[in-house]
Structure 1
Amino acid sequence: MGILSSSASITRYRIVQDIPDDFLTEVPERLIKHKFRDIDHTADERSFGWTSFDDMLDMNWNSSTPHKGHYLAFALRLDTRRIPPAVLKKHLRLALDQARQELEAKGQKFISRDQKKEIKENVQIKLFAKTLPIPAVFDVVWDTSNNFIYLASTSPKIRELFLDLFNATFELHLEQRTAYFCALTGMDQGAKKQLDELEPVIYI
């Protein structure tokens, strides 16, 4: 669910380094440089990149700017092609049967491991070309007043993809705001040492 939904799963981050004063003016250009690329007319398995917060089809921010007051709002779009296992199994079987018939006609009795691998890859490419990618969009909100980032997902795979793309786009590193890092805020070294030495207690 998106950030503007009645309920949403959110992962919070904080930018760990200082940002130059003029950096925010570069954000639209950086987003477009790493924007989402459509794969509808390809056989690619997946594609990901930034798109508009207001319209997932607007990869150039023609209808609205990512600047929303002191916030920046954009979205991570991920399109993925998925082949149902039963479909892949069927077409792989058909391809292997055909390959065996062709090899037997040439006097070869068995299909080698490399040949099976190549046949499977070719079957997957053909099926990908016939399968429409499934789009998914994950909202991102950047509060520039405190450099907190909010991602509308808690999925480990999406978080990893987001962190890699964010770093490649903005050359900034993020720290996830877990309970531990929230507790560290405002602590001196003595209190931090005590926190690090805490051990969990099992009450059951």
Structure 2
Amino acid sequence: MSKVPPLMPVLSGAVTFSRFRSEPTGDAPSDTKRWLSKGLKSGLFEPIDLKKTEDERAAGFVELENSDSTDFTTGSVLYGEYALFGYRVDTVKVPPALLKAELAKWQKEFEKREGRQPTRGEKSENRASLKHMLRQRAVPMTKVHDVSWNLKTNQVQLWAASRKTVDEILLAIEECFQVKLQPLVPASLAAQAGISDENLVPTPELIGMEISSSEIASSEVSHGDA
């Protein structure tokens, strides 16, 4: 018996998603499970190390039901003909208002202690120091975007509202899995079906240029008089 896929965003809140068709850029994988695991691990999510880096952002693949896990066992990714996983994005930012308040507090203490206002250089140096301190205390903001990949039909669905985020996930999937993702939009679907661009042009009726019966009658009368 195949496992029932966990609830995707379309069933639990968010409904914004994009659809694509995946096409291998090379030979099709002979071992789907191995190919899937290798691809996910090559682009896995790595948390931001606040002590070792000044990076403000980290992104990568995670398990769908456990966004802290990147083991990608077969049972955590494959659900029948579907591969389900997440694309996690963590950001660490110090709120400008908080930094401004801390800087004002420091400046007041400095003036009281030194009997003068701090120089521009002293302000700049302390601002950097305060920002680093506040960053160490910050809690990363996490957002996980769900990915559904039907390995039988090669259809990929991404749950993300931002065009920039969609493009980022597309690039990650294409690089890690050696595929090309084609958007499933009317123009793309028509091209796959061999329908020419000329046949996609709106008809006069569609854009409100239909000729009324009275205009037709009037035209006939004019021609009759002539």
**What TM bracket, shorter-length normalisation?**
0.7 to 0.9
Residue of structure 1 equivalent to 2:28 = 20
Deviation at 1:111, TM superposition (A): 2.5
Q: Is the 8 A contact 1:3 1:139 kept in 2?
A: no
Percent identity at matched positions? Answer: 22
**How many correspondences in the alignment?**
196
CA RMSD of aligned residues (A): 3.6
1:125-136 pair list within 5 angstroms: 125-136=132-143
Shift of 1:93: 4.3
Deviations along 1:133-176, one digit per CA (max 9) or x if unpaired, are 01111110111112111111121232122122212311322122
Q: Is the 8 A contact 1:56 1:75 kept in 2?
A: yes
The CA deviation at 1:27 is 1.3
Q: Give the C-alpha shift of residue 198 in structure 1.
A: 5.6
Aligned ranges for residues 1-204 of structure 1 at < 5 Å?
Answer: 2-5=9-12, 8-17=15-24, 20-22=28-30, 24=32, 25-39=34-48, 42=51, 44-62=55-73, 64-93=75-104, 111=120, 120-188=127-195, 191-195=196-200
- Alignment partners' CA distance in 2, 1:101 and 1:6: 53
Unaligned runs of 5+ in 2: 1-7, 209-226
**Distance in 1, Cα, partners of 2:135 & 2:76:** 34
Task: Name stretches of at least 5 consecutive residues in structure 1 with no aligned partner.
Answer: none
Kept in 1: contact 2:44–2:61 (CA 8 A): yes
Cα gap change, 1:117 to 1:26, in 2 (>3 Å):
farther
Q: Deviations over 1:33-54 (max 9, x none)?
A: 3211123654541211111112
Q: What SS does the aligned partner of 1:87 have? A: helix
Q: Match for 1:158: what amino acid?
A: T
Query: 2: CA distance between counterparts of 1:70 and 1:143?
Result: 6
Structure having greater relative contact order (Cα 8 Å, sep ≥ 6): 1
The answer (yes or no) to whether the contact 1:9–1:154 under 8 Å persists in 2 is yes
Letter of the aligned partner of 1:10 in structure 2? F
Scaled by the length of structure 1, what TM-score is found?
A: 0.74
Aligned to 1:173, the other structure's residue is in SS state strand
